[in-house]
Structure 1
């Protein structure tokens, strides 16, 4: 009984098809990884604001939040302690408050007005991903758009 094996041409074609499928999968995975990293930063930034608003309400201590985008960070000052959140490369953070005066959260956890946090991932000059959060007056209530 004679056994038949794949010819060299069949093997090369099969390997080429498998290589193309793996290459396509790798390219789509890189885009997926960028989206995951962007979403992770958005959750961290929104959580930071929400946590500090609640902390001010519980401890009765004023909090000031600064958008230091030019330095690549969001900075929070509460009771003389500084906390920073690094902004990833290619991500821009826009706030509805002045970068110089910051955003003040009073000791009872309320804010003078609702504010907006917009986070944008730019890729070659165009907005690739955008998340927008609106924080309401007290207890860090957050609405994602």
Structure 2
């Protein structure tokens, strides 16, 4: 029963995270075309301020529930790359791990180089792409 609940939480959190990224990448691009940079940033902060807590919590729950669910399929007597399911799952986890490459790069630019990060405006585009690839792998896992 608990496993099923965690699976549902995982799916709902994935919907929230991907939905947020789609909104940020596609919907806000429309607002950006019709406003100055200063107006756009102010509008975006105002609209997204309440969603930051929800997104952060959903992302954290997505990672935690994913780790819990993966523990049922990897390691121990099951091995790591014994089946197609496991191979795709490890590939999915590796792809999701790419999300954590952006933060150190950003900190390097800001803290070490004392410059703004030139890739910052593309992070949500890349995160959306990574999430969609992970979603495709999630569906492929259950085909094998």
TM-score range, shorter chain: 0.3 to 0.5
Q: Which has the higher strand share?
A: 1
Which structure is larger by alpha-carbon Rg, 1 or 2? 1
TM-score (norm 1): 0.39
* Richer in helix (by share): 2
Q: Which has the higher contact order (CA 8 A, sep 6+)?
A: 2
Give the TM-score taking structure 2 as reference length: 0.39
